[in-house]
Structure 1
Amino acid sequence: MPAPMLQALPGSTLRAVLLLVVALVVLRLGWMSDDAYISFRSVWNLVHGYGLTWNTDERVQAFTHPLWLFLIAAAHALTDEMYLTAMAVSVACSLLAVWVVLRRLTDSNAAAVAFVALLLGSQALLDFTTSGLENPLSFLLVALFCAQWLNHPAGHRPLFGLMLTGCGLALNRLDLALMVAPALAIELWQQRSRRALGLAVIALLPLLAWELFSLLFYGFPFPNTYYAKLNTGIPKAEYLGQGVVYLLDVATRDPGTMAILVLALLAPFAPGASRARLPLALGLLAYLAYVVNAGGDFMQGRFVSVPAFLAAILLSSDSGDARWADQDRVWLAVAAVLLLSATRLIPFEAADPPIRPNGVADERRYYFAQTGLVYHQRYRQVPFNHAWGMTGKRMRGAPSQSVQVFNAIGFSGFAAGPDIHIVDQHALSDAFLARLPSTRPWRIGHFVRELPPGYLDSVASGRNQLVDPAQRALYDDLQKVIRGPLLAPGRLAAIWRLNTRPAIGSESAAR
């Protein structure tokens, strides 16, 4: 469409049509992941009076996104249903994020069209507009942060609002704070004063309160998944290599997303670009470096979906820079992204296996037949229409606090109900196994632990029957922390020991 004709259209009408297009795509791709149901088990426990637990007889944080969990819990408390409730919240957050960008960050019609075109060119971004994971709320928080950052001049931005939004992003997933940390540091420096520092501290109080609660309630400042996935005894070089492989997988399987990320990193250096884009680009780069350092993820595109949303804003927004979206280079960038995205439609190799040799999988395609919104059936609801969900459902007849060993704990754990104690060999929900070294070979995000002699008997009986002395000491401290009364004598000392001594076997990770 010629630029003059595009600009002549009523802005509100065009943006409504663009939002409708995005909504139709999001609904068509709507799905739920197995990992989401790991958190949903904690949601169900919280709403039904079992507290912030996963196994109801112990305190272990098996979720990484407190803010998302509380949002889903509030919605679930109203509906007493999980699948459609989480789907509705996900769709609402994703569409609200798009609407914030269209209304507050695109002054011209050209910029609005460019933004939506970039969104539709990213498979990673579209895949995680649903899934049950925290990404939709992260999209919304990033949009709100950018609206405050790009719509005000340096030194006069709403520091409290920026800090509060950044705090929400960290509460939604702690590592996402890296994306806004450079911008927040710069603005705090530019407005440096006692008042500015006081506002920053007040805005960060929710995050500080959660960390204090986490330390006192669970015994640890970070989610159990952090220890399960990063304290494995695996050398750092192997994580770094896998992290590079993860980004290469994005580049080859989802080239549109990689194009958006690369172009966004270059955007601050384009002629005429405002300096406001540079801190956000630095945050984007810092987060991608973190992804490489952590080894990436097993879900194709998950860890680059939120960066891709930020990148799309950096490339298309003309807020405060009316020339930006009308310049030829932006339209060429959009055309390049869409062209690269179209290459996904070319069958240049054999059918994609469920899990690739590099450990990465297209999770949406893997689960879509059972959990896709377009396939939802009232009488065969997720997760009970999946084999893992049926396995968990069969466990409901076992005696109360029966101990079962599962490897895929999302659908199965949710379906099993609160009376079953599940031992997860990947250690995502098991505080003891998370502090043991992983076996080999390993797959990113799936670090299997061998069950030590006496461990299952210890869990079932409540008495320490482990053989290894180091494991016995670890188990004793953990029982005080995750099972004992919060104010029990010796519990704080046990928390200190657990957070200051290295995990068993972790010394090999430094090699």
Structure 2
Amino acid sequence: MTRPRDSMLWVVLPCLGLYLCMAAWFLLHGVEAIDDAYISLRYARNLVRGAGLVYNPGEFVQGYTNFLWVLIMAGVLSVGLPAVPTLCALGGLAGAAVVTLTAVWSCRRLAPGLRISAGVAPVLLASNLGLVVWSLRGLETGLFTLLILSGGLLYLRRGPLGPLSMPVALLFALAALTRPEGVLAFALTLGHLILVRLRQGRAPLSRDDVPGLALFLVVLGVYGAWTTWYYGDLLPNTFHAKVGGPLASLPRGLGYLWKFGRYGTGLPLLLIPLSLLSRRRRDHTRSYACIMTAGFALYVAAVGGDVFPAYRFLIPVLPFFYLLVADAVAVVEERWRHRQATARRWWAGEGLIRGTLALVLAVLALATFRPSSAFAWREWRGGNRYTRSMLMVGNWLHAHEPPGTWIAVNPAGALPYAADLPAIDMLGLTDREIAGTPISGLGTGRLAGHEKGNGASVLRRRPELILMSGVKLDVDPPTREWNPHGRSEHEIAATPDLYRIYGLEQQAMPDGRILTFLRRREP
């Protein structure tokens, strides 16, 4: 007889191996953080230098939403480790832990009797290259997903009828310090706890829940008080730069969810109603997974989705989504085995059951892998190329411009980080004045986070250099025509006396391309 631990290893090790193989394939094509990761790295570097948790020394603006990850970045820099490889490795390990935890939980619920069904959730998770890519991009996605999953599974292990434990509250508090959506995850967990208790005829909350609730509220309260004191605002500056009025971003967000369902999750999604037919598993995993998945989906729709491919905002709830799919497959396997035990027909043989379900799992994995691989590879290849171009320009500016030279740019990540010069973020993510500029239709644009701008504000601050057209890099011979990107660039290009104040300059970059930018004429 197969021992439960052996049965678990048969699921965990292949799924973990699949994830590691996918990660290795991407890493063989280059290790590089996404451009946005360098915004957080710039904050971390200034903290290590003693300038504070700021983008530009002396400007206290919260242009990040990943406080805990920024502190980890600062720790990496302070001990002299290479930032990008270390952060990519940490994110990759977090992603591997997510796959492992999902496999272990699925096995405890379904194995050894339903070994094929137990493998559904971790196999689909490892086959979705969105998790792989966004864990390796230098951002907090892998860590945030791990904290949400760990908190959720620990909550389920203790059960909603038991007290809300302090370890559960601590994990969700750490998640909330990693991304603001951690507050949503804790609220959904608390909502599930209350609903289950009310259904059982019990009080929604008890005295035993107070320590856990108090821990979460104290951690978030202290952090909120500190951000208000330090930055003068409870909300991050990125909120003002990205979020429009109530429901303004909903159409774009619904489109984001539609594409997510259409490309890669459509077939698994169709199976989820089957999970409602299961009557054997009363551990509340199914209802909790439904609440977490639906809650995050509604939130992502409300904020308008994300600008990046491979559906980064939905990665944190993929484990819960795939646990629902596993429940659906388990319903089929249970009923088929019941027929085998009662009817003894040829079509209910053990070998045929396992073979058919393995084929179903392979089809689901392929249906997940193929579309996600296209999005993930596009992000990896295009993102690496873009980030390296920005680092090249930034390094050139660092070598050729004196310290303290102010630059104005749209991409506020790798280029300003490498240039190590004070910078005006023309999209407003790290700029309070631009983020606070009122515009009509905020949240309805095609690209989330790329709608704010204020050309007059940029020109009033008289930066020495303005990099237009995003960053204009041309092969020789270069053009002298602008293709303005974003509101700030459009307003700057339309300024009547622009070329009285600024002149065009072109410089050859190390890769042979020509950088065209504006340099201030007046002293």
Instruction: Give me the TM-score of the superposition, normalised by structure 2.
Output: 0.71
Q: Please say if 1:402 is aligned against 2:405.
A: yes
What residue in structure 2 maps to residue 472 of structure 1?
Answer: none
| CA displacement 1:101-122 (0-9 Å, x = unmatched) | 3335522244552232111332
Q: Please say if 1:29 is aligned against 2:31.
A: no
What residue in structure 1 maps to residue 382 of structure 2?
Answer: 366
Q: Specify the code of the residue in structure 1 equivalent to 2:449.
A: G
CA change 1:404–1:313 in 2 (3 A) is same
Question: Given the alignment, which residue of 301, 305, 308 partners 2:318?
Answer: 308
What residue in structure 2 maps to residue 415 of structure 1?
Answer: 418
Question: Given the alignment, which residue of 224, 229, 236 partners 2:237?
Answer: 224
What residue in structure 2 maps to residue 280 of structure 1?
Answer: 289
Instruction: Give me the TM-score of the superposition, normalised by structure 1.
Output: 0.73
Residues 179 and 284, structure 1, Cα contact 8 Å, conserved in 2? no
What residue in structure 2 maps to residue 120 of structure 1?
Answer: 126
Question: Given the alignment, which residue of 347, 368, 376 partners 1:341?
Answer: 368
Give the Cα separation in 2 of the matches to 1:400 and 1:218.
25
Question: Given the alignment, which residue of 435, 443, 449 partners 2:453?
Answer: 449
Give the Cα separation in 2 of the matches to 1:163 and 1:213.
20
Q: CA deviation at 1:136?
A: 0.5
Give the Cα separation in 1 of the matches to 2:183 and 2:269.
18
DSSP-derived class of the 2:107 partner: coil
Give the Cα separation in 2 of the matches to 1:8 and 1:125.
26
What residue in structure 2 maps to residue 357 of structure 1?
Answer: none
What residue in structure 2 maps to residue 483 of structure 1?
Answer: none
DSSP-derived class of the 1:203 partner: helix
Q: CA deviation at 1:159?
A: 2.2
Structure 2, gaps ≥5 residues long:
198-202, 337-356, 465-523
CA change 1:180–1:398 in 2 (3 A) is same
Q: Specify the code of the residue in structure 2 equivalent to 1:424.
A: D
What residue in structure 1 maps to residue 138 of structure 2?
Answer: 132
Question: Given the alignment, which residue of 12, 16, 22 partners 1:19?
Answer: 16
What residue in structure 1 maps to residue 477 of structure 2?
Answer: none
Residues 230 and 294, structure 1, Cα contact 8 Å, conserved in 2? yes
Residues 405 and 422, structure 1, Cα contact 8 Å, conserved in 2? yes
What residue in structure 1 maps to residue 160 of structure 2?
Answer: 154
Q: Specify the code of the residue in structure 1 equivalent to 2:175.
A: L
Residues 8 and 104, structure 2, Cα contact 8 Å, conserved in 1? no
Residues 155 and 191, structure 1, Cα contact 8 Å, conserved in 2? no
Structure 1, gaps ≥5 residues long:
355-360, 371-382, 461-511
What residue in structure 2 maps to residue 249 of structure 1?
Answer: 259
Question: Given the alignment, which residue of 189, 208, 217 partners 2:221?
Answer: 208
Q: % of aligned pairs identical?
A: 21
DSSP-derived class of the 1:79 partner: coil
DSSP-derived class of the 1:405 partner: strand
Residues 138 and 306, structure 1, Cα contact 8 Å, conserved in 2? yes
CA change 1:284–1:15 in 2 (3 A) is closer
| CA displacement 1:54-111 (0-9 Å, x = unmatched) | 1122111111111122223223322342111111111121112222333355222445
Give the Cα separation in 2 of the matches to 1:342 and 1:336.
10
Q: Specify the code of the residue in structure 1 equivalent to 2:257.
A: L
Q: CA deviation at 1:173?
A: 0.9
Residues 265 and 284, structure 1, Cα contact 8 Å, conserved in 2? no
What residue in structure 2 maps to residue 491 of structure 1?
Answer: none
Residues 437 and 452, structure 2, Cα contact 8 Å, conserved in 1? no
| CA displacement 1:391-432 (0-9 Å, x = unmatched) | 222332434432211011111121121xx2211111011011
Give the Cα separation in 2 of the matches to 1:313 and 1:262.
14
Bigger mean CA deviation after superposition, 84-93 or 15-24: 15-24
What residue in structure 2 maps to residue 292 of structure 1?
Answer: 301
Give the Cα separation in 1 of the matches to 2:274 and 2:10.
32
CA change 1:13–1:335 in 2 (3 A) is closer
CA change 1:16–1:117 in 2 (3 A) is closer
Give the Cα separation in 1 of the matches to 2:100 and 2:190.
24
Bigger mean CA deviation after superposition, 405-414 or 111-120: 111-120
Bigger mean CA deviation after superposition, 43-52 or 441-450: 441-450
DSSP-derived class of the 2:461 partner: helix
Residues 176 and 183, structure 2, Cα contact 8 Å, conserved in 1? yes
Residues 26 and 129, structure 1, Cα contact 8 Å, conserved in 2? no
Bigger mean CA deviation after superposition, 322-331 or 52-61: 322-331
Bigger mean CA deviation after superposition, 113-122 or 439-448: 439-448
Q: Which has the larger radius of gyration?
A: 2
Q: CA deviation at 1:346?
A: 11
* RMSD over aligned Cα atoms: 3.5
Give the Cα separation in 1 of the matches to 2:153 and 2:101.
8
Give the Cα separation in 2 of the matches to 1:8 and 1:43.
42
What residue in structure 1 maps to residue 479 of structure 2?
Answer: none
Give the Cα separation in 1 of the matches to 2:408 and 2:160.
55
Residues 99 and 125, structure 2, Cα contact 8 Å, conserved in 1? no
What residue in structure 2 maps to residue 508 of structure 1?
Answer: none
Which has the higher relative contact order, 1 or 2, with Cα contacts under 8 A spaced 6 or more apart? 1
Give the Cα separation in 2 of the matches to 1:282 and 1:69.
30
Residues 148 and 158, structure 1, Cα contact 8 Å, conserved in 2? no
Q: CA deviation at 1:158?
A: 5.0
Bigger mean CA deviation after superposition, 447-456 or 288-297: 447-456
CA change 1:199–1:308 in 2 (3 A) is closer
What residue in structure 2 maps to residue 98 of structure 1?
Answer: 99
Residues 289 and 323, structure 2, Cα contact 8 Å, conserved in 1? no
What residue in structure 1 maps to residue 501 of structure 2?
Answer: none
Give the Cα separation in 1 of the matches to 2:372 and 2:66.
34
Residues 53 and 61, structure 1, Cα contact 8 Å, conserved in 2? yes
Residues 188 and 295, structure 2, Cα contact 8 Å, conserved in 1? no
Q: Specify the code of the residue in structure 2 equivalent to 1:247.
A: L
Residues 115 and 312, structure 1, Cα contact 8 Å, conserved in 2? yes
Q: CA deviation at 1:160?
A: 1.6
Q: Specify the code of the residue in structure 1 equivalent to 2:240.
A: Y
What residue in structure 1 maps to residue 503 of structure 2?
Answer: none
CA change 1:92–1:5 in 2 (3 A) is same
